[in-house]
Copies of this chain bind each other. A is one copy, B any other.
Amino acid sequence: MHMMQVMQPVVVLAGGVGAARFLRGLVQVVPPAEIVVIGNTADDIWWHGLYVAPDLDTVCYWLAGIADFERGWGIAGDTFIMQARLGRLTDESWFRLGDRDLATHLYRTGRLRAGVPLDVVTDELRRRLEVASRILPMSNAAITTRLKTDRGDSHFQEYFVRDGCRPAVSGIYWTGLEDATPAPGTIGALEEARAVIIAPSNPIISIGPILRVPGMRHALQAVRERVVAVSPLIGGRAIKGPTVELMQAQDLQADALGVARLYSDIAQGFVLDSADAHQSMRISALGYRVAVLPTLLDDPSLARAVAARALDLAERPVAA
């Protein structure tokens, strides 16, 4: 076995907290330094002059062990002193940033304004937070998820945080895709990967944008036999976030089977929850090798079991 084989990474396509929970399990079964995360940046937002990358930060904070694991986002024990004061200056204070968390945004924004690409800054941040896994943005280009709702055209964060997912969504679109390319390192990591895992993240607005980066879907198709998706839905419901609402807005069936259909050209393994075992035959019929087990990830030992099973499905194909 030569060196390159030893270094073959496990690549994870990741959104925010769902992916972070999964990664907390994966690092128990794969050396963290062999993991490469390709993170969604289509939820990123310019907020009062600062560039905030919620999904990249969530993944980084969880892997660094400093996340607020209950709340999901931000840093444990953080304070909101800036936030309280901002609320006295403007009504535009709905996107909450903790004081410790702010340092990340200042650092990143300063570097971006100095012309440093997002992938380099992201790597600097994870190293400073002593995260052994690589974290790559899906692209260095500005790609943004926007929603058409009954309250108007919104950035995803306006719909998600400001409006609490209450508006009815009639359409989803992305800006910035045309000229975008995958971030340096992403395609190479996919080509070299011994396994690629699509984390249990929202397939529309977390994984969807990653797959839409020109070239990304094609690269996944080329390694499809090593790609495994973990369903983010359990019994047709999301643990967190508007997965069901946004799948329905796209006229998709909002359950494990609906998710499996979205990935059938890029993945050959599919992990679904025991609650959805009745769909396993139809998912197999799409060409998947299927694993059925409890996929609730709030406990690190459960996350470890799901990660081990997903990895197993990717690395040692079994008959459907």
Interface residue from B81, B83, B88, B109 paired with A48 (Cβ < 8 Å): B109
Q: Is the CB of A128 within 8 A of B88?
A: yes
Copies of this chain in its oligomeric complex: 2
Does A102 contact B102, Cβ atoms closer than 8 Å? Answer: yes
If A50-B49, A50-B50, A88-B128 touch, whether A81 touches B109 (CB-CB below 8 Å) is: no
Q: In the complex, which residues 69-128 of chain A have their Cβ closer than 8 Å to any Cβ of chain B? A: 78-79, 81-83, 85-86, 88-90, 92, 99-100, 102-110, 112-113, 125, 128
Query: Chain B residues with Cβ under 8 A from A88's Cβ?
Result: 103, 128
Contacts of A46 in B (CB 8 A): 113
Output the nearest chain B residue to A110 by Cβ-Cβ distance: B48
Given contacts A78-B81, A102-B102, 20 further A-B contacts (CB under 8 A): A48-B106, A48-B107, A48-B110, A49-B106, A49-B110, A49-B113, A79-B99, A81-B99, A82-B102, A83-B103, A85-B104, A86-B106, A88-B103, A88-B128, A89-B103, A89-B107, A89-B125, A89-B128, A90-B128, A99-B99
Complex Cα gap A48–B92 (Å): 21
Question: A103: which B residues are within 8 A, CB to CB?
Answer: 82-83, 85-86, 88-89
Interface pair A49/B48, CB less than 8 Å apart: no
Q: Are A81 and B100 in contact (CB under 8 A)?
A: yes
Closest 7 CB pairs of A and B: A49-B109, A48-B110, A85-B103, A48-B106, A81-B99, A86-B103, A82-B102
Complex: how many Å from CA A108 to CA B86? Answer: 11
**Tally of contact residues, A, Cβ under 8 A:** 32
A115 shortest CB reach to chain B, Å:
12
Quick check: is A51 within 8 A (CB to CB) of the other chain?
yes
Q: Mark A223-237, 1 if CB is under 8 A from B, else 0.
A: 000000000000000
The 8 sampled A-B contact pairs (Cβ below 8 Å) are A47-B110, A49-B49, A49-B105, A49-B110, A78-B81, A86-B103, A89-B107, A99-B99
Most buried by B among A48, A50, A105, A113: A48
Q: How far is the CA of A128 from the CA of B85 in the complex (A)?
A: 11
Contacts of A100 in B (CB 8 A): 81-82, 85
Judging by beta carbons under 8 Å apart, are A112 and B79 in contact? Answer: no
CB distance from A286 to the nearest CB of B (A): 45
* Residues on the B chain within 8 Å of A78, using CB: 81
A49:B51 contact, CB within 8 angstroms: yes
A145 CB to closest chain B CB (Å) equals: 21
A167 to chain B, nearest CB (A): 23
Tell me the bound Cα distance from A78 to B86 in angstroms: 14
